[in-house]
């Protein structure tokens, strides 16, 4: 990370600052989630499963989580070992496996939501309400392309 006074005055200063800020927020969030036994990757998978109306195939989960199927398989392995996710067979195709969130997984997702809310409050304290609203608008614009 670059100290504030060493950020180059060139056209890349905003990009570097944005990337450094994102890494710092990610590191703080990962640390907070680790205290309840989760990571951002696990939380992301749980989120997709909680929001889904039905169990998701591993391919669907990989697509929604924007990662490869082998990565999601390993992630589901870890979530299953933690008791947060269960694998279920597809009733129409025994070769297909779906993942579904367990009651413990829903509880973990709820705990993580509290952690994320705490992280948001911390950001709000640092930014203030007016700059936060501007930042949210700007980040949405950047995300959309």
Report the CATH number at residue 14. Answer: 1.10.10.10
Tell me which residue range forms the domain holding 17. 10-144
Domain assignment present for 20: yes
In a domain, 2, yes or no: no
Residues 45-60, mean pLDDT to the nearest whole number? 95
pLDDT of residue 8: 53
Whether 3 shows a pLDDT value over 60: the answer reads no
pLDDT of 15 higher than 90: no
In a domain, 28, yes or no: yes
Q: Which of 46, 38, 41, 64 is nearest to 100 (CA)?
A: 46
Position 4 in a domain: no
Number of domains the chain contains: 1
In a domain, 3, yes or no: no
Could you give the CA distance from residue 113 to residue 108 in angstroms, rounded to a whole number? Answer: 9
Nearest to residue 105, comparing CAs of 64, 75, 70?
A: 75
Give residue 92's pLDDT: 86
> Which one has a higher pLDDT value, 93 or 30?
30
Identify the band that residue 127 occupies on the pLDDT scale cut at 50, 70 and 90: confident
pLDDT tier at 22 (50, 70, 90 boundaries)?
Answer: very high
Residue at 53 is within a domain: yes
Q: How far is CA 90 from the centre of its chain?
A: 27
34-43, 45-54, 57-66, 130-139: least confidently modelled range? 130-139
pLDDT score of 129: 75
In a domain, 1, yes or no: no
Let me know if residue 5 belongs to a domain: no
Residue 112 has pLDDT above 90, yes or no: yes
Q: What percent of the chain has pLDDT over 90?
A: 66
- For all residues of the chain together, what is the average pLDDT? 90
């Amino acid at each position: 990370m670059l100290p504030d006074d060493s950020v180059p005055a060139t056209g890349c200063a905003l990009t570097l600052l944005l990337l450094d800020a994102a890494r710092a927020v990610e590191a703080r969030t990962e640390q907070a989630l680790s205290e309840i036994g989760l990571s951002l990757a696990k939380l992301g998978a749980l989120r997709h499963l909680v929001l889904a109306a039905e169990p998701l195939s591993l391919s669907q989960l990989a697509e929604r989580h924007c990662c490869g199927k082998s990565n999601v398989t390993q992630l589901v392995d870890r979530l299953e070992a933690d008791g947060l996710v269960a694998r279920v067979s597809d009733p129409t195709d025994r070769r297909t496996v779906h993942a579904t969130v367990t009651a413990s997984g829903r509880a973990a997702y709820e705990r993580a939501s509290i952690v994320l809310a705490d992280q948001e409050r911390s950001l709000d304290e640092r930014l203030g309400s007016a700059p936060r609203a501007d930042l949210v608008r700007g980040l949405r614009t950047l995300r959309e392309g």
